[in-house]
């Protein structure tokens, strides 16, 4: 767990911010009747909202509908979601089913359909059994339980949640997030769904700007397998129950809120990377000496995304040439004779040549569950970070039989 | 084996073209004394030559030296090569060692050093034990054996060779190629070394043009793991022993030669893809209905390079949504409601929706060793093809312990 260094920011146990409710249930999308497979997230009042969405050309129907809904007025009051079926590559039928799901939630809540977001994740290309979901929605309530954070999971091994509190106008503000991974994780969102709620007062356009900027440094810097899903999105709702002065660049506590918000997203991103399909280790790559932040991020992600680097980390084999190879594959500025590479603090490469390191010490450190690779490109003063995981037998196993 | 449809082109058992000799031996770079780890390829006279090289920024010393040598005058008389050590990320020492290797071969043959190419493959970042190689070169002879085609292998499971004969000016011309794979295989050459020899008369600049064009459609269209090596190159030598009229666009038999040349390169490329690290199946993706040939190639390679598609093929699981996801990840023109996908001839997707296929028939066809995916983007009349392999437990195993 990352500890916020700012004393005005606290990580606490998960809870919903003021005025947010949730619930979950089993609709029958997953075979096991003991596993919840749908749920919702509801604000007592319409909330300012923002979203970011997959760049995959085949955008799934629920993702497209939510984008369209948020773009109307940057307002949402609820999000209804399911796992077990992605409602993707389902054509006109899929668009219809997503709209039916949206309307059913709106009817149950007595609000307008254009205040309801929809999210689905699971197998692509199968028609959504939407009747099961509408039947389920009829039974959902407004509770403070966190069942929906589990109901949205697919191959994830555990729920991914965080609650951060900070002081804005000397009053407590809560930001809570949850998400699901854990394959098709790569640039531009991958099969991940992320939901962030806060009771802060912040206008929709300001929230959109903050979300887009922060996603570029967090969710877009993780990779599990280089594949980008059709369904990804991150949605944020701010219902204003905290009653602070509206947050924007002129508010003296805005930096605190930005920091707390980034902590929520980076925690969730790292949780996804560390729980990548079949992963046994979390890998963090920190690039310094980059020509620009963009290039620092690009190189960090190239390293963490290399199958050869990932397999080497699974094998606990310090074959640093693969890190060099991954750097060299990019078109980033690199001092070809000046690169440094350290693994868990042990310097392995200096001036692009093997450093004088102990094979035993390296072998020992690679047994850890977290592997940090620090790279100095010696080409500037900018930096970038990316997160991923190792490539394991289990990744292959999971993805060789995903539908079975 | 692809059969040339042109009656004037024949695939025959491997042999060196007229005026080419080779030899191989064990220099001590690999532990097993029964395995050859270096060798050479020699023409009786200086040959016109061409090359293509890795785009990785960390270009290994031997690759850089060979590029520099060929660029002098597009002439080569010999190539000396080794496996077991890539002489990459070895700095000034590496440049020195590559030059020593080049000079030793030149001295033994009594020719100028700038007529000798050098190639290395193996572990990155370790200093080349060049004395072992120079000692070995002293013992090489000029034979017609094919030992060098095996000596250059690393994790390949078998040698990859082909000989094609065609008629130019009604006289037989021979083109022979060999190469090594089999990890770090991706766009722009990957860890592959390819060597093509021919007794045809064709000028160096013409040969360079032909090579560059053909590599884009063959070697640059295979992918094993998305990683690009520091050492890749393909070198062609044409020694003119066949005595034909110089081949160029005005020669009436040039189309025949181009076809034979492409057959050599595409055969070797497919051999590399099918023998990718740990591969159990060769995957061929044919894209039609593309807006341009470039986009057809781009989409074909995106599909064949997707870890999720690769794992699905290993698992013999017809999860066609992953093919759609891989298409959608590109920025190619796509008719989002018009895409067709067939696997081994069984139509699985029509108009971007599930077709009416038999799960049993698909399950049966996926047991084959070759899986062909045909995709129609419905966005134009151009096409592209790419080759790869499945992602298996064995790939992970090999790369988790490459150095051990």
How do residues A239-288 score in pLDDT, each as one tens digit?
999 999 999 999 999 999 999 999 999 999 888 887 766 778 889 999 99
> Residue A227 above 70 pLDDT?
no
Summarised one tens digit per residue, pLDDT across range B51-80 is 988 878 888 899 999 999 999 999 999 999
Go through chain A and tell me how many residues it has: 404
Does A259 show up as a binding residue in the annotation? no
B2 within some domain: no
**Contact present, A175 and A194 (Cβ < 8 Å):** no
CA distance A243 to A226: 42
Specify which of A143-147, B232-236, B355-359, B384-388 reaches the highest per-range mean pLDDT. A143-147
Same domain, B214 and B325: no
**B394 versus B135: which is more confidently predicted?**
B135
All residues of chain A having their beta carbon less than 8 Å from the beta carbon of residue B312 are 399-400, 402
Same domain, A297 and A230: no
Residue B395: pLDDT band with limits 50, 70, 90: low
Binding-face residues of A in 131-150 toward B, CB within 8 A = none
Task: State which residue of chain B sits closest to A321, comparing Cα positions.
Answer: B124
Most A CBs within 10 A among B56, B57, B330, B353, hence the mutation to make, goes to: B57
Nearest to A400 among B230, B315, B400 (CB): B315
Q: How much is the pLDDT for B7?
A: 67
Write down the catalytic residue from A63, A69, A191, A197: A191
B3 within some domain: no
> Residue B216 above 90 pLDDT?
no
Go through chain B and tell me how many residues it has: 404
CA distance B306 to B390: 10
Binding-face residues of A in 340-379 toward B, CB within 8 A = 349, 351-354
Domain end position, chosen among A274, A298, A330:
A274
Q: What is the mean pLDDT of residues A49-75?
A: 92
Q: What is the mean pLDDT of residues A144-172?
A: 92
Does B399 show up as a binding residue in the annotation? yes
> Residue B349 above 80 pLDDT?
yes
Same domain, B145 and B290: no
Handedness of CA A89, A93, A95, A97 (dihedral sign): negative
Q: What is the mean pLDDT of residues A222-230?
A: 67
Cβ-based neighbour number of residue B138 at 10 Å:
11
3-state secondary structure of A366: coil
Nearest to B311 among A56, A325, A399 (CB): A399
Nearest to B336 among A57, A327, A336 (CB): A57
Is some CB atom of chain A closer than 8 A to the CB atom of B395?
A: yes
Does B45 show up as a binding residue in the annotation? no
B87 within some domain: yes
Same domain, B243 and B294: no
CA distance B4 to B260: 8
Percent over 90 (pLDDT), chain B = 63
Summarised one tens digit per residue, pLDDT across range B261-303 is 999 999 998 888 877 667 788 899 999 999 999 999 999 998 9
Same domain, A269 and A287: no
Q: What is the mean pLDDT of residues A107-129?
A: 94
Same domain, B261 and B309: no
Domain end position, chosen among B239, B272, B305:
B272
Q: How much is the pLDDT for B287?
A: 97
CB within 8 Å of B92: residues ≥ 6 apart: none
B173 within some domain: yes
> Residue B376 above 90 pLDDT?
yes
Q: Which domain holds residue B71?
A: 9-272
CA dihedral B266, B272, B273, B279 (to 10 degrees): 160
B95 within some domain: yes
Judged by average pLDDT, the poorest of A136-140, B9-13, B135-139, B219-223 is B219-223
A75 within some domain: yes
B39 within some domain: yes
Q: CB–CB of A308 and B183 under 8 A?
A: yes
For chain A, give the mean pLDDT. 89
Q: What is the mean pLDDT of residues A210-215?
A: 92
Question: Where residue B307 sits, what CATH number does that domain have?
Answer: 3.10.20.340
Cβ-based neighbour number of residue B218 at 10 Å:
24
Q: How much is the pLDDT for B321?
A: 84
- Please tell me the total count of domains within chain A: 2
Q: How much is the pLDDT for B398?
A: 66
All residues of chain A having their beta carbon less than 8 Å from the beta carbon of residue B354 are 89, 125-126
Same domain, A223 and A78: yes
Q: Residue A19: which region, alpha, beta or left (left: phi > 0; alpha: psi -120 to 50)?
A: left
Judged by average pLDDT, the poorest of A160-169, A250-259, B159-168, B185-194 is B185-194
- H helix and E strand count, chain B: 11, 15
A377: closest CA of chain B, how far (Å): 12
């Amino acid at each position: 767990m990352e500890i916020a260094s700012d004393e005005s920011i606290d990580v606490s146990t998960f809870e919903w911010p003021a005025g947010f409710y949730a619930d979950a249930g089993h609709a029958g999308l997953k075979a096991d009747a003991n596993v919840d497979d749908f749920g919702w997230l509801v604000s007592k009042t319409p909330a300012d909202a923002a979203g970011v969405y997959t760049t995959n050309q085949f955008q799934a129907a629920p993702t497209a509908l939510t984008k369209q809904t948020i773009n109307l007025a940057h307002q949402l009051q609820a999000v209804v979601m399911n796992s077990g079926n992605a409602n993707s590559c389902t054509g006109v039928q899929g668009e219809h089913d997503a709209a039916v799901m949206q309307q059913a939630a709106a009817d149950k809540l007595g609000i307008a359909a254009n205040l309801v977001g929809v999210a689905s994740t699971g197998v692509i290309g199968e028609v959504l059994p939407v009747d099961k979901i509408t039947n389920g929605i009829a039974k959902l309530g407004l509770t403070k339980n966190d069942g929906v954070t589990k109901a949205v999971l697919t191959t994830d091994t555990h729920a991914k949640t965080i609650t951060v509190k900070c002081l804005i106008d000397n009053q407590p503000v809560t930001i809570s997030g949850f998400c699901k991974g854990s394959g098709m994780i790569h640039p531009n969102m991958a099969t991940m769904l992320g939901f962030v709620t806060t009771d802060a007062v912040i206008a929709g356009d300001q929230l959109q700007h903050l979300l887009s900027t922060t996603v570029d440094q967090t969710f877009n810097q993780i990779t599990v397998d280089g594949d980008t899903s059709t369904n990804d999105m991150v949605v944020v709702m701010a219902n204003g129950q905290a009653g602070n002065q509206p947050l924007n660049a002129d508010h003296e506590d805005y930096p605190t809120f930005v920091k707390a918000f980034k902590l929520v997203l980076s925690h969730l991103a790292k949780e996804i990377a560390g729980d990548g399909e079949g992963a046994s280790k979390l890998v963090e790559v920190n690039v310094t000496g980059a020509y620009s932040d963009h290039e620092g991020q690009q190189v960090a992600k190239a390293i963490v995304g290399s199958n050869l680097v990932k397999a080497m980390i699974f094998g606990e084999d310090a074959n640093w040439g693969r890190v060099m190879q991954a750097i060299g594959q990019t078109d980033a500025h690199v001092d070809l004779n000046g690169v440094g590479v350290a693994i868990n603090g042990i310097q392995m490469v200096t001036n692009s040549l093997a450093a004088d390191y102990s094979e035993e010490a390296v072998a020992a450190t690679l047994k850890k569950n977290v592997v940090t690779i620090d790279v100095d490109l010696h080409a500037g003063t900018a930096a970038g970070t990316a997160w991923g995981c190792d490539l394991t037998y289990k990744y292959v196993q999971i993805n060789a039989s995903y539908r079975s």
